[in-house]
A and B are shown apart, each in its own frame.
Chain A
Amino acid sequence: MRAVRTVAVNVFRESVRDRVPYNLVLFAVLLISSSYLLGQLTAGQDVKIIKDLGLAATAVFGLFISIFIGIGLVSKEVERRSIYALLTKPVSRAQFIAGKYAGLVLTLAVNVGVMTIALYAVLAYMVWTEPPTIRAGWDAPGIDPALLKAIFLIFIELMLVTALAIFFSTFSSPILSAALTFGFVIAGHFNADLKNFDKVVSSRAAAMLARGVYHVLPDLSAFDVKTEVVHGLPVTAGYLASTAAYGLAYVAGLLLIATFVFSRRDFK
């Protein structure tokens, strides 16, 4: 556990030194400037748009961090040959993968946490400045705790994407890893369509293939409850728990395979 924690803390330190937190400044600027502009243009809908924008930006910014840092976590160590000294310390290859993963998840947690605070701060400002008559027309409260449900599932999705990026980077180049991860993320968001593919095709083989792909690819659309939350629709605790369990099981599976692949790799 000590080795995993130590490697994780170093990943976090590297991301800070690589100026990853600068994205938070961009996020804050985007959110504040949008709220100002929307306040000039719309009446009543602005808080909904800000929530939508804030959640979408959290997901997109997180996605970029997951993929672009995730694909480099292993490959950068190999390219700069720092892995030679590291893996000859009392660190197993499984601990190395777990530590790298935990470090990036920690980075993501801090980023998502700060973005959440920024979103709530902007919403609080809007609640404070909007007249009560307009606030009365909102679907959901301005400072809505339900947003945390969406952010929670965004975070689980980012954990899954990070595991995908690390998994691909254990056996392929950074560019290929990025392409594969992006491909899986895009396919993952449309994966639910494959589940019912048999209703739109007559070929039994094609339907079975689609069903097989559905089970292999992650179903990322399950993690997207932004629309429900913004419009004040219910998202049950049971749904959150089962979706999180699905995501974490997928993460565990990916990390196990990544460790298996990485443990057999020669560092020439």
Chain B
Amino acid sequence: MTPAIRIEELTKDYAIGFWRRRPYRALDRLTLDINPGEVFGFLGPNGAGKTTTLKLLMQLIYPTSGRAEILGRPVGDVAVRQRIGYLPENPSFYDYLTAEELLNYFGELFGLDAVARRKRVTTLLDRVGIGAERKLQLRKFSKGMIQRIGIAQALLNDPEVIFLDEPMSGLDPLGRRDVRTLILELRDQGRTIFFSSHILADAEALCRRVAVVAGGRLAAAGRLVDILAFEIHGWELVMSHVNPEMFARVTGVVRRATEISPERYAFELSLDQAPDRVLSDLTAAGAKLVSLNPMRDTLEDFFMRRVAEMGKGARAPLAEETDARG
């Protein structure tokens, strides 16, 4: 199966400094394959190289080395743009145009005839929730409304592959929910969606596979559940009816005990401690089980740790390469 997006050893260096120019590696030998029809999360903290990657794929910037293909065609092929959609990070458009005029303008560039354009523009503006503001100039739009028009223009040509750079940025909770629903709808229609985000809940809600970048390098890639499952580092046991005398039974076993409310405690156990023994000791003394959960790294923790390991902004090479082929 030909991947929808193929990225091979993609690297981007910038020259920084005014007097003494020196190279700065924004992206370092990124290799990824994204399958057709999947929602792929491209995650990382700010400055990790997400937007650089998207701009390389969109040919807004050119790679120092490496190559990329979309739908089997080199990214530089103008014809491939007929089949893709792109939402830039913090999009900005022509403030003298109305929402309808903007989409008409872009629709003309896609070669849609007047009838098809009118129909598509109306459908999309209604779909992203700004149908009532279609005649309003963009200078009067809020940030959230601009984000919505940005999403609409990315879908104008009914694209096969959609690139969304921080699609939830600037949206209120309702807007975020709408965009999530829209992405899932697009997935169900067989579209490939490559979206970047530093909002981890979005990735967890939408993606089966993700890649995590930090410091310009691929830190991990694969199924989200695998990445998170691998990072279980202990257990959290929540008990009620706990009195101070019971602590003697679990001293040395429990890593930390936190009082949630009177007689209700959360006990943290390290991974090598069997939670069932602590549970049976406490229940024997009269405590009652509320919950028992594995303590997993969130992607936030993952980012933080990787960034710390790699040195912030150091763009150091990874200790080991991660195979990101899907």
Q: Measuring CB to CB, which residues of chain A are less than 8 angstroms from any residue of chain B?
A: 2-3, 6-7, 10, 13-14, 17-18, 80-92, 264, 266-268
Residue of A86, A88, A90, A268 touching B79 (CB-CB under 8 A):
A90
Closest to B83 in A: A90
**Contacts A/B (CB < 8 Å), 6 sampled:** A2-B109, A13-B97, A80-B92, A84-B55, A85-B86, A86-B106
Interface stretch among B56-64, B219-227, B288-296? B56-64
Q: Roughly how many angstroms separate A26 CA and B106 CA in the complex, as a whole number?
A: 34
Q: Say how far A18's CB is from chain B's closest CB, in angstroms.
A: 7
Closest to B88 in A: A84
Closest to A81 in B: B92
Chain B 52-110 interface residues, beta-carbon cutoff 8 Å to A: 55, 58-62, 78-79, 81-82, 84, 86, 88, 90-97, 105-106, 108-110
Task: Contact check, A84 vs B91: say whether CB atoms are below 8 A apart.
Answer: yes
Task: Contact check, B96 vs A89: say whether CB atoms are below 8 A apart.
Answer: no
Please give, as numbers and ranges, the residues of chain B lying within 8 Å of A87 by CB-CB distance: 58-60
Q: Say how far A104's CB is from chain B's closest CB, in angstroms.
A: 16
Knowing A81-B91, A82-B92, the reply to whether A266 touches B78 (Cβ < 8 A) is: no
Known contacts A85-B93, A268-B14; can you find 18 more A-B pairs with CB under 8 A? Answer: A17-B96, A81-B88, A82-B94, A84-B55, A84-B86, A84-B88, A85-B88, A85-B150, A86-B106, A88-B59, A88-B84, A89-B106, A89-B110, A90-B79, A90-B81, A266-B60, A267-B55, A267-B61
Q: Say how far A161's CB is from chain B's closest CB, in angstroms.
A: 24
Q: Say how far B80's CB is from chain A's closest CB, in angstroms.
A: 9
Task: Contact check, B82 vs A90: say whether CB atoms are below 8 A apart.
Answer: yes
Task: Contact check, B96 vs A14: say whether CB atoms are below 8 A apart.
Answer: yes
Knowing A6-B109, A266-B60, A267-B60, the reply to whether A90 touches B96 (Cβ < 8 A) is: no
Task: Contact check, B61 vs A14: say whether CB atoms are below 8 A apart.
Answer: no
Task: Contact check, B61 vs A6: say whether CB atoms are below 8 A apart.
Answer: no
Q: Roughly how many angstroms separate A2 CA and B106 CA in the complex, as a whole number?
A: 12
Q: Roughly how many angstroms separate A80 CA and B93 CA in the complex, as a whole number?
A: 7
Please give, as numbers and ranges, the residues of chain A lying within 8 Å of B150 by CB-CB distance: 85
Please give, as numbers and ranges, the residues of chain A lying within 8 Å of B35 by CB-CB distance: none
Q: Roughly how many angstroms separate A17 CA and B62 CA in the complex, as a whole number?
A: 34
Please give, as numbers and ranges, the residues of chain B lying within 8 Å of A80 by CB-CB distance: 92, 94-95
Task: Contact check, A90 vs B88: say whether CB atoms are below 8 A apart.
Answer: no
B153 at the interface (CB under 8 A from A): yes
Please give, as numbers and ranges, the residues of chain A lying within 8 Å of B61 by CB-CB distance: 266-268
Closest to A6 in B: B108
Q: Roughly how many angstroms separate A195 CA and B150 CA in the complex, as a whole number?
A: 54
Q: Roughly how many angstroms separate A47 CA and B92 CA in the complex, as a whole number?
A: 51
Knowing A18-B96, A84-B58, A268-B14, the reply to whether A90 touches B106 (Cβ < 8 A) is: no
Residue of B78, B84, B86, B93 touching A82 (CB-CB under 8 A):
B93
Chain B 19-65 interface residues, beta-carbon cutoff 8 Å to A: 55, 58-62
Residue of A14, A17, A90 touching B78 (CB-CB under 8 A):
A90
Please give, as numbers and ranges, the residues of chain B lying within 8 Å of A86 by CB-CB distance: 106, 109
Q: Roughly how many angstroms separate A81 CA and B146 CA in the complex, as a whole number?
A: 13
Please give, as numbers and ranges, the residues of chain A lying within 8 Å of B79 by CB-CB distance: 90
Please give, as numbers and ranges, the residues of chain B lying within 8 Å of A81 by CB-CB distance: 88, 90-92
Please give, as numbers and ranges, the residues of chain B lying within 8 Å of A13 by CB-CB distance: 96-97
Please give, as numbers and ranges, the residues of chain A lying within 8 Å of B86 by CB-CB distance: 84-85, 88
Task: Contact check, B96 vs A88: say whether CB atoms are below 8 A apart.
Answer: no
B326 at the interface (CB under 8 A from A): no
Task: Contact check, A264 vs B60: say whether CB atoms are below 8 A apart.
Answer: no
Closest to A83 in B: B60
Q: Say how far B306's CB is from chain A's closest CB, in angstroms.
A: 24
Q: Say how far A19's CB is from chain B's closest CB, in angstroms.
A: 10
Closest to A18 in B: B96
Q: Say how far B98's CB is from chain A's closest CB, in angstroms.
A: 11
Q: Say how far B232's CB is from chain A's closest CB, in angstroms.
A: 40
Please give, as numbers and ranges, the residues of chain A lying within 8 Å of B96 by CB-CB distance: 13-14, 17-18
Closest to B80 in A: A90
B111 at the interface (CB under 8 A from A): yes
Q: Roughly how many angstroms separate A88 CA and B54 CA in the complex, as a whole number?
A: 11
Please give, as numbers and ranges, the residues of chain A lying within 8 Å of B14 by CB-CB distance: 268
Q: Say how far A5's CB is from chain B's closest CB, in angstroms.
A: 9
Please give, as numbers and ranges, the residues of chain A lying within 8 Å of B108 by CB-CB distance: 2, 6
Task: Contact check, B88 vs A89: say whether CB atoms are below 8 A apart.
Answer: no
Task: Contact check, A266 vs B91: say whether CB atoms are below 8 A apart.
Answer: no
Q: Roughly how many angstroms separate A36 CA and B111 CA in the complex, as a whole number?
A: 52
Closest to B163 in A: A88
Q: Roughly how many angstroms separate A264 CA and B76 CA in the complex, as a whole number?
A: 12
Closest to B150 in A: A85
Knowing A10-B94, A81-B88, the reply to whether A264 touches B62 (Cβ < 8 A) is: yes
Q: Roughly how many angstroms separate A6 CA and B108 CA in the complex, as a whole number?
A: 7
Q: Roughly how many angstroms separate A268 CA and B314 CA in the complex, as a whole number?
A: 20
Please give, as numbers and ranges, the residues of chain B lying within 8 Å of A264 by CB-CB distance: 62
**Which of A85, A90, A91 has the most C-beta atoms of chain B within 10 angstroms of its own C-beta?**
A85
Task: Contact check, A88 vs B60: say whether CB atoms are below 8 A apart.
Answer: yes
Please give, as numbers and ranges, the residues of chain A lying within 8 Å of B84 by CB-CB distance: 88
Task: Contact check, A2 vs B111: say whether CB atoms are below 8 A apart.
Answer: yes
Closest to A87 in B: B60
